[in-house]
Amino acid sequence: MKRFRLSIGLVSIGLLLTTCTQDAEIEPETTTDTNTILKSVSVGFDEWGFNYRAHLFEGYLINAMFADPVFKYMPHYKKMNYNGQEDQFWNEVMEKYPYFSHIMPGELIDCKLMMKWNEDLLSKEGQYPDTWVDSDAWIVFKYKLHTMSEQWTHVRRLVARKGSDYLDGGYWYNQEGEEIGKESYYWPDLIITQVVNNGNNPFIPAIMPDDYLSPNGVGQGKYKVK
C-alpha cells in the first residue's frame, strides 16, 4: 500500500480466504444492512472492495490496484473495475495503461485478496500517514487463486518497524540483536513477521516470499510502541 515501489511483478499487497493455520484466520467486521454497506466508502464497502471504516478489503487483487489511495495520482486510479471478464479486461487495461503490468502480472487477474489493517496503517478516511516507522501499524494479506490449473493461498503478516531496528542480509533485528522479521521490499517501513503458503504457487519466490515465521512471534502486541 503506502511507500509502494513499482517493479516488475506483484505489489506485495501483503491476505486471503482460507489457510491451514488457525493463526492466520481473519474475522472481518460485518453489518446486516446491505443497502447501508453499498452507500458510501465511509460507511461500508465501495464498488472495488474497500471498507475503510472496518479497515478491510475483500475482492479481486486487481481491483485493489485500481482503488488503493496510494495510486490516487496515477491515471488508472478508480477508472476500471474487474468482475471476471478475464482476457478481455486485461487487454483493455494494457491498452489504456501499459505500465500496469509493472504493478501486477496479468496471470493474477483472477486472484482474490483480503486485507485487514489498523488505523495506524490506513485511516477510516482512507488517508495514509507520512510514515509507519515507530507506529503500531500492521496489516495482514490473504491471497487466493483457485482455477482449473492453479489452486493456492498465500498469507502474509506485516508490522511497522521501529527507528532502532536494523536490516541485515534481508532480515530485521531489534536493538538487542534479535531477529524480528523479514525484509518487505515493497514497504521498507514494514516488517514481514509471517508467511503461510498452501498449494503450488508459481509466484514463489520471484514475486511472493516463501514460508516464514518470526522467532519473535506474530502477535501484534509484541511490536507495539505505545
pLDDT digits (tens, 9 = 90+) for 99-112: 999 999 999 999 99
Number of structural domains the chain divides into: 1
Reply yes or no on whether the pLDDT at 8 is more than 50. no
Averaged pLDDT of the chain:
84
Q: Are 107 and 209 in contact (CB under 8 A)?
A: no
**141 located within any domain:** yes
Which candidate, 19, 44, 46, 13, places its Cα nearest to that of 29?
44
Helix (H, G, I), strand (E, B) or coil at 67: helix
What amino acid is encoded at 172 in this protein? W
Give the residue-averaged pLDDT of 171-191.
95
Domain that holds residue 116: 22-223
Alpha helices in 11-148 (DSSP H): 34-39, 61-67, 87-96
Q: Are 15 and 142 in contact (CB under 8 A)?
A: yes
Helix (H, G, I), strand (E, B) or coil at 31: coil
Question: Computed over its alpha carbons, how large is the radius of gyration of the chain?
Answer: 17
Residue 1: predicted pLDDT = 57
- Under the banding of pLDDT at 50, 70 and 90, the label for residue 43 is low
**Report field, pTM of the whole predicted structure over 0.75:** yes
- Under the banding of pLDDT at 50, 70 and 90, the label for residue 226 is low
**80 located within any domain:** yes
Strand partners, 225: none
Residue 31: predicted pLDDT = 36
What amino acid is encoded at 91 in this protein? N
Q: Are 59 and 48 in contact (CB under 8 A)?
A: yes
Reply yes or no on whether the pLDDT at 3 is more than 90. no
Residue 48: predicted pLDDT = 97
203 burial (CB, 10 Å; 0-12 / 13-18 / 19+) is: buried
Bond prior to 205 in cis (omega within 30° of 0): yes
Q: Within 13 A of 80's CA, how many CA atoms are on the CB side?
A: 22
Q: Give the model confidence (pLDDT) of 112-155 as tens digits.
A: 999 999 999 999 999 999 999 999 999 999 999 998 888 999 99
Whole-angstrom distance, CA of residue 113 vs CA of residue 15: 6
